[in-house]
């Protein structure tokens, strides 16, 4: 697949930057990456996205939006045409999908992304997937030990949960799917979001890239895969009804015997000395890690409406029966008949990996909790 990756707001730009930085040259899926923010310093601080693809908008805004999501919606609607024109400098016409990264809870990204997604849907006949992080509870009030000394929105965002829910409501019916990442679940003990954000962004980027790079590249070069997963398969599983999706990922180091070649020269047949039992065990282990390990958003696996499994690694390790059994495992865990599976040979790799995408996973416990705490606020505003 080829993706147009767009980061909006400080958190979204950092996520897009991490994806761009981790995009493997030999299997690149990022056609062009963009960063949009109202804060020029945050845009300048990015490391990977080319400077020519970083843009500040809303130049009259000073000191950010201070969590005012309603103002963020207004700013987004005022500037959406400007942002869309910048995207014309990329490769939107040949992209298989757009991935829009945003930190839910913030006013800039949360306010602009709904308008941008709606405009992308109007302009292009391509899926638009939102990559969204949920705020951690520690962001809601000042820390008793603010080691940063900054008092920044990265540490204190009292409206973050309400903003997250309101942004998701605005995205309903426009985004094809929302791939969620729960900052709260991924924080370590006594770790703040500010301290952890670079690590969390890399964790999310690793899983997103593992998933999309395991799909067909769209080139004429033979992949050697027995069952190829392509953009249509991804669209079928993620759907087009703004469902919530989550990603699981497992990997295991393996020994390779490739005749001394580790450079992907297409000598698939050189790897012939893998014991079948060992290969099956490696595949089973990685699938269990992907399915039962930590997801980007925790959920009951049985709540998933659809699922997709891709197993990759050195060709000789990709035992077809083990992959088929893994698909059956996924069917049993989800109770869904809408399961797709495929393989992704990596002749230059010494790891077996499995990526599990679960789609339509609501009600996810964390999202349900956010919504239950936000609804009373909405009712009070309405005078109920």
Instruction: Quote the CA–CA distance of 328 and 325 in Å, as a whole number.
Output: 5
Residue written as tokens 């069917």? Answer: 331
Phi-psi region of 302 (alpha: psi -120 to 50; beta: other; left: phi over 0): alpha
Give the full edge-to-edge strand order of the sheet including 3-8. Answer: 54-56, 30-37, 3-8, 97-103, 128-134, 177-182, 243-253, 351-359, 306-313, 339-345
Query: How many Å apart are CA 48 and CA 103, to the nearest integer?
Result: 19
CB 355 within 8 A of CB 340: no
108 is in an annotated binding site: yes
Residue 242 is labelled as binding a ligand: no
In whole angstroms, give the CA distance from residue 29 to residue 191: 32
Distance separating alpha carbons of residues 68 and 356, to the nearest angstrom: 36
Q: Does 68 belong to an annotated binding site?
A: no
Contact present, 177 and 359 (Cβ < 8 Å): yes
The structure tokens listed for 158 are 């009292």
Q: Among all chains, which residue has been given the structure tokens 């027995």?
A: 226
Going along the chain, which residue ranges are E strands?
Answer: 3-8, 30-37, 54-56, 97-103, 128-134, 177-182, 243-253, 306-313, 339-345, 351-359
107 assigned ligand-binding residue: yes
- Annotated binding-site residue? 183: yes
- Residues of each annotated binding site: 107-109, 139, 183, 201
- Residues of each annotated binding site for GTP: 107-109, 139, 183, 201
């Amino acid at each position: 697949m080829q993706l147009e990756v767009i980061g909006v707001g400080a958190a979204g730009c950092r996520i897009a930057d991490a994806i761009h930085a981790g995009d493997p040259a030999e299997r690149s899926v990022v056609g062009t990456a963009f960063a949009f923010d109202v804060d020029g310093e945050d845009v300048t601080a990015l490391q990977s996205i080319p400077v020519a693809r970083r843009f500040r908008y809303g130049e009259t805004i000073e000191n950010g939006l201070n969590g005012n999501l309603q103002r963020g919606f207004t700013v987004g609607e005022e500037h959406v045409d400007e942002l869309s024109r910048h995207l014309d400098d990329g490769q939107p016409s040949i992209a298989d999908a757009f991935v829009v990264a945003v930190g839910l809870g913030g006013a800039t990204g949360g306010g602009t992304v709904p308008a941008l997604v709606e405009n992308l849907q109007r302009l292009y006949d391509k899926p638009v997937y939102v990559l969204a992080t949920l705020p951690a509870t520690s962001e809601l009030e000042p820390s008793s030990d603010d080691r940063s000394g900054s008092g920044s929105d990265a540490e204190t965002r009292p409206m973050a949960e309400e903003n997250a829910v309101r942004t998701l409501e605005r995205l309903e019916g426009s985004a094809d799917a929302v791939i969620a990442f729960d900052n709260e679940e991924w924080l370590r003990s006594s770790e703040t979001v500010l301290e952890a954000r670079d690590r969390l962004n890399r964790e999310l980027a690793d899983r997103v890239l593992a998933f999309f790079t395991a799909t067909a590249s769209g080139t004429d070069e033979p992949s050697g895969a027995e069952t190829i997963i392509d953009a249509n398969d991804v669209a079928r599983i993620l759907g087009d009804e703004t469902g919530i999706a989550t990603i699981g990922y497992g990997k295991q180091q393996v020994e390779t015997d490739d005749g001394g070649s580790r450079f992907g020269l297409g000598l698939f047949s050189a790897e012939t000395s893998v014991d079948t039992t060992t290969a099956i065990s490696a595949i089973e282990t990685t699938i269990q890690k992907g399915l039962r390990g930590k997801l980007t958003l925790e959920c009951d696996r049985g709540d998933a409406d659809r699922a997709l499994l891709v197993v990759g690694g050195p060709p000789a390790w990709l035992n077809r029966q083990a992959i088929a059994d893994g698909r059956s495992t996924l069917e049993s865990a989800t109770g869904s008949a809408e399961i797709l599976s495929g393989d992704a040979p990596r002749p230059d790799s010494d790891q077996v990996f499995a990526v599990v995408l679960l789609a339509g996973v609501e009600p996810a416990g964390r999202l349900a909790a956010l919504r239950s705490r936000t609804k009373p606020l909405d009712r009070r505003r309405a005078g109920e």
